Structure 1
Amino acid sequence: MEMASLLRLVALSLLLAVATPVRDITDACSSQVKAADFPHLNGSGLHLTLHHPRSPCSPAPLPADLPFSAVLTHDDARIASLAARLAKTPSSRPTALDESSSLALDESSSPALDESLASVPLGPGTSVGVGNYVTRMGLGTPAKSYVMVVDTGSSLTWLQCSPCVVSCHRQAGPVFNPKASSSYASVSCSAPQCSDLTSATLNPAACSRSNVCVYQASYGDSSFSVGYLSKDTVTLGSGSMPNFYYGCGQDNEGLFGRSAGLIGLARNKLSLLYQLAPSLGYSFSYCLPTSSSSSGYLSIGSYNPGQYAYTPMASSSLDDSLYFIKMTGITVAGRPLSVSKSAYSSLPTIIDSGTVITRLPTGVYSTFSVVYDVKSNKIGFAAGGCS
C-alpha cells in the first residue's frame, strides 16, 4: 500500500546522520555555541547547543546499560506515530477533547480534568526515552531553563506545567510553574491560535469552563500531552521573545524521557521556527554529534549558504507540515545500488529528527543482497534480492 511504503521511507535519523566532529568533551558541556567553532554558522543567527543522548553533558542522559532493543522499540513507536499522522487517524486515546466537550480543565484554584479523560489507561510506553537530542529552552519571567527534545516532526512546542492536574512524567529539574512567571498568560478559546491547534496537533481544540483553550498532542505510541494553550516569554541562548505560544501540559505520559517537553520545528504557524521567523527568518540548521564526547548545535536564522549542498524540498498532500525530499538513489563507496528509479520516485522521503533507523520501501530491500566479510572487516552489496 502507498501509506506503508511511505512509512518505510524515513531517512536521516538523529543517531545515524553524519555530523562534523566538533569540540572535545571539556568544551562540549558549555551551554553557549560560538559561531567561530562551526564553519557553517555566522554570528547573526540564534545558536543552541545540542546534546547527544548518551553524552555525560546531556541534562537528561540515557542510562549507560540501555539495550539497543529499547532504541528499536522507541523507533517503532515513532513510525507508528507518523503512520497515524499521515493517515489522518484520530487519536487512539479516547479523550473528552472535542468541540462539544464540557472538559473540566479549569485554571481555578482546584483544576480538574473530565473523569473520562483522567481514567483512560496509557497503554504501551516507557519513561526511559531514547534516541532524542536535547537542548535547553528558557521560559517565563524571570526565565527558568528546561530540557527540551528537538523535534522536526512536531508543530506545537509544549512542556510540563504545575500543578500537573492528572500526571507528569519524571523530568530533569523542576516543572514549570506558570504562577511564578509575571509574563505568563493563558489563551482564550476565541483566539486564532486556538483554532490553529487543529492543523498543529491533528486534534481539535477544546474549551475549559473558564474559556481557556485546551490542546491535545497525541502520538501513535499512546504518548500524549494535554493542557492549556498559553503564551509567555521564551529565552533561547542570549535572546528572548515575548508572547510565544506553547502548550502548558497538565497530563503528560509516554516516550518523553526526562525532558520537560518538545520543541516543535515543523512547517506550521505554531512551531517555534515560524514564531521566530519574523525576526530571524524561515530557516534552521543542526549539526548532530555522532558520539557522546562531542556536542552539536541547533541554529535558527542566518547561516553560511556556501557551506552546504542543496536539494529541493518536495511537497506532499499527505502532510504539508513535514519535511520531504525526493530520494534518487543510494551509493556505497561511490557505487550506486541497482535499484529502479521508480522505487524512489513513487513517494517522497521524510526527513525526521526523531527517527533513529533509516527506513526504506520493501521493494528496495528486495533488490539487493548484503555480504558481511568479517575477516576483511567490510560489508558488500550486490544486485538481486531473495525473491
Structure 2
Amino acid sequence: MAPSPLLLAAFSLLFAVATPIRDITDACSSQVQAADFEHLNGTALHLPLHHPRGPCSPAAVPSDLPFSAVLTHDAARISSFAARLAKTPSSSAARPITTTSASSLYRPDSSLASVPLTPGTSFGVGNYVTRMGLGTPAKPYVMVVDTGSSLTWLQCSPCRISCHRQSGPVFDPKTSSSYSSVSCSTQQCTDLSTATLNPAACSSSDVCIYQASYGDSSFSVGYLSKDTVSFGSNSVPNFYYGCGQDNEGLFGQSAGLMGLARNKLSLLYQLAPTLGYSFSYCLPSSSSSGYLSIGSYNPGQYSYTPMVASNLDDSLYFIKLSGMTVAGKSLSVSSSEYSSLPTIIDSGTVITRLPTSVYTALSKAVAGAMKGTKRADAYSILDTCFIGQASQLRTPAVTMDFAGGASLKLKAQNLLVDVDSSTTCLAFAPARSAAIIGNTQQQSFSVVYDVKSNKIGFAAGGCK
C-alpha cells in the first residue's frame, strides 16, 4: 500500500536500492493479506490505498518513468480544471465522433457530443489506486481514486473499440447475474451531463452512452450500467457506473476510475444512504501504507476548514488558503493575495499551484532558508531546485494555514519533490486561473471530506 502523489514527494522510491527483494516480497504479501480485510467497520468502509510507484501497488507505473511525464500529466490536469472553471472547452477538446468503429455504439445523430479521439498522456501516473469489487459473483478491479471526477467507470468486455492494458482481467458483464444496462429515459442518464461535463448519447437499442474526457486527451466512452459493487464481503446493489467500450490514453494498468466528487453519480453519493456523506484518506509515500475510508470518522482528531461555496463548479472541493509561514515567519504578501484565485483541494494533482505573488514569496523564503544548499537548474515548471534528495536536506519548517484554523505543517517530503537521482525541487508552481492544493502537500496526512457538514479536516500522522 503506498502512493507518493495522491502525492509525490512523491515519485521518489523511498525503498533503498539495497533493500532485499525478499523483504519487499514479504511486505507485499502482508499487504495483500491486509487487503482481504477491506470491510464495512460499523458504518465505515475502509480500503487500502496504494502509491503508484510503491512495490506493492497492484497497478504500478514503470519504474523508469521520468518525472517530466508526471509534470506533463499535471499540466494537462490543470488545463482541464481551468476549462471547467471557465466553462469553456479545454485545449484538448474534442472532435465529433465520426469513426466507423464508434458507429457500433452510436446511432447517427448530429446532436451527439464530442470527445477527443487521440490517445493522451498517462492519466494514472500521479494517482493512487485501490480495489473495488463488481458484479455477482464479485471480482476485484484496480481503480484510480479521484476527488476531481464524478462518474466511476471501468473497462468492459468485449471492448468494442479499444481497451488499454490493465492489471487483471477486464470486467465481462455477461458473467454477472446482477448486471443491467441503463436506458436513455432514466434520470441517471440525464444526470450524466453534470457528472461527466459531456451530454449523454443513446444507442440504437435505447442504452444510455456516457462520455468521460480528461484534460490530457484521455477518455472513456461506453454504456451507463447498473450492478452490485462490493468491498470485501459487503456489497451494495444498484450501483451506477460506466462500462467502457472505448478507453484511450494511458491509464496506467488500472481498470478504470473511482469518482469521489460532489455529484449524485459519484461513488460517495451512491454509498451515502448507507454510510453517510463523508470520506477520508491518507495518501502514502512509496514506502508506507495508506487508506481510503468512506463513512463515519473520528471528528476529534482533525483541525477543520470550511468548504467554500462556488458557482464555478459545484462538484469540486473549494477551500480558502489564508496564510503561509517559512521558518516561523509569514510570507511577505498581503492576506488578500492568498484568496486572489479560487482554491481547490485535489487528490490527483501532484504539484500545488499558488497565486503567483504567493508562490514568488514562498520560493524566495525557502531558498533563503536553504542558502547553504547548492542550487540546481530549473526542472520544467519547477524553478526552485537543489542538489540532493529531499530526505537528505535540511529544510525549513513550512506551514500552510487555512480559514477556520486548519493547517498543514509540511515535512521535507511535502515541501520538496525528487525529480531525478540528484535533484530535488520545491513542489509548488504559480497558478493562472485557480490555486490547487495537490497531493504532495497532503501526503502522510489524514484528510477528511465531511460533505454533510461542509468542512475538510487535516490530521498529522495518518499513514502507518
TM-score bucket of the superposed structures, by smaller chain: 0.7 to 0.9
CA drift of 1:353 comes to 0.5
Residue 173 of structure 1, aligned match among 160, 168, 173: 168
Consecutive unaligned residues of structure 2, counting only runs of 5 or more, are: 11-25, 375-391, 399-464
Deviation string 1:335-381 (CA, Å, 9 cap, x unpaired) is 32222111112333111110011111222223351234227944569
TM-score of the pair, normalised by structure 1? 0.83
Counterpart amino acid of residue 50 in structure 1: L
Tell whether 2:238 aligns with 1:243: yes
Structure-2 residue corresponding to 1:212: 207
Q: CA RMSD in A?
A: 3.0
Q: Secondary structure at the match of 1:328?
A: strand
TM-superposed deviation, 1:34: 7.8
Alpha-carbon separation, structure 2, partners of 1:45 and 1:223: 33
> For residue 69 of structure 2, what is the aligned residue in structure 1?
70
Q: Is the 8 A contact 1:155 1:271 kept in 2?
A: yes
Equivalent residue for 2:320, pick from 317, 322, 326: 326
Whether the aligned pair in 1 keeps the contact of 2:115 and 2:211 (CA below 8 Å) is: no
Match of 2:309 in 1: 315
Larger RCO (alpha carbons 8 Å, 6+ apart): 1
Q: Which amino acid in 2 is paired with 1:334?
A: G
Paired residue secondary structure (1:275): helix
Give the structure 2 partner of residue 137 of structure 1: 132
Which one of the candidate residues 31, 35, 43 is aligned to 1:31?
35
Matched residues in 1 for 2:192 and 2:253: separation? 25
Distance 2:393 2:56 in 1: 33
The answer to which of 76-85 and 26-35 deviates more is 26-35
Answer whether contact 1:14 1:288 (CA < 8 A) is retained.
yes
Per-residue CA distance 1:43-84 (angstroms, 9 max, x = gap): 531000001111121111122222111111111121122122
1:48 corresponds in structure 2 to: 47
Per mean C-alpha deviation after superposition, the further-off stretch among 61-70 and 329-338 is: 329-338
Shifted more, 136-145 versus 75-84: the winner is: 75-84
On the 8 A contact 2:6/2:51 being kept in 1, the answer is: no
Q: Distance in 2 between matches of 1:209 and 1:310?
A: 50
Mapped to 2, the partners of 1:118 and 1:277 lie a distance apart of 32
Select the residue among 336, 341, 346 that pairs with 1:352. 346
Per-residue deviation, residues 296-349 of structure 1 (Å, max 9, x unmatched): 110000111111111111111110000010000112243322221111123331
Q: Residues 17, 313 of structure 1: CA spacing in aligned structure 2 closer, same or farther, 3 A cutoff?
A: farther
1:254-282, Cα deviation, whole Å (9 max, x unpaired) = 14111010000000000000000001000
Conservation of the 8 A alpha-carbon contact between 1:327 and 1:348: no
Match of 2:257 in 1: 262
Aligned length: 350
Per the alignment, residue 84 of structure 2 pairs with 85
Question: Residues 336 and 201 of structure 1: is their aligned pair in 2 closer, same or farther, counting only changes over 3 Å?
Answer: same
Q: Which deviates more from structure 2 when the two are superposed, residues 343-352 or residues 228-237?
A: 343-352
SS in 2 for 1:199: helix
| Deviation of 1:85 (Å) | 1.8
Per the alignment, residue 247 of structure 2 pairs with 252
Distance 1:379-1:223 versus aligned 2 partners, 3 A rule: same
Task: Find the counterpart in structure 1 of residue 95 from structure 2.
Answer: 94
Q: Tell me how far apart the structure 1 counterparts of residues 373 and 27 of structure 2 sit (CA, whole Å).
A: 32
Contact preservation (8 Å) 1:54, 1:61: yes
Q: CA deviation at 1:160?
A: 0.5
| Residues 224 and 69 of structure 1: CA distance in aligned 2, closer, same or farther (over 3 Å) | same
SS state at 2:193 partner = helix
Q: Which runs of 5+ in 1 are unaligned?
A: 1-11, 19-23, 36-40, 98-102, 383-387
Equivalent position of 1:14 in the other structure: 6
Change (3 A) 1:349 1:178: same
Q: Distance in 1 between matches of 2:348 and 2:88?
A: 20
User: What is the alpha-carbon distance in structure 2 between the residues aligned to residue 244 and residue 119 of structure 1?
Assistant: 25
- Decide whether the 8 Å contact of 1:105 with 1:113 is kept in 2: no
> Aligned-pair distance for 1:113?
9.6
Change (3 A) 1:237 1:89: farther
Corresponding residue for 1:122?
118
What is aligned with 1:302? 296
The residue type paired with residue 143 of structure 2 is M
The TM-score, its normalising length taken from structure 2, stands at 0.69
Counterpart secondary structure, 2:189: helix
Tell me, yes or no, if the aligned pair for 2:95 and 2:115 is still in contact at 8 Å.
Answer: no
- Would the alpha carbon gap of residues 138 and 82 (structure 1) be closer, same or farther in structure 2, given more than 3 Å must change? same
Deviation at 1:86, TM superposition (A): 1.7
Q: 1:113 and 1:328, CA in 2 relative to 1: closer, same or farther beyond 3 A?
A: same
AA at the equivalent of 1:31: A
Q: Which residue of 2 aligns with 1:5?
A: none
2:142 is equivalent to residue 147 of structure 1:
yes
Residues 95 and 34 of structure 1: CA distance in aligned 2, closer, same or farther (over 3 Å): closer
* Bigger strand fraction: 2
Q: Does 1:196 align with 2:191?
A: yes
Change (3 A) 1:112 1:31: farther
**Is the Cα contact below 8 Å between 2:115 and 2:213 reproduced in 1?**
no
Q: Aligned to 2:321, what secondary structure does the other structure show?
A: coil
> 1:3 matched to which residue of 2?
none
Please tell me whether residue 160 in structure 1 is matched to residue 155 in structure 2.
yes
Shift of 1:217: 0.4
The 8 Å contact of residues 5 and 126 in structure 2, kept in 1 or not, is answered as no
Amino acid at match of 2:310: S
For the structure 1 residues 224 and 299, does the alpha-carbon distance in structure 2 shift closer, same or farther, using more than 3 Å as the test? Answer: same
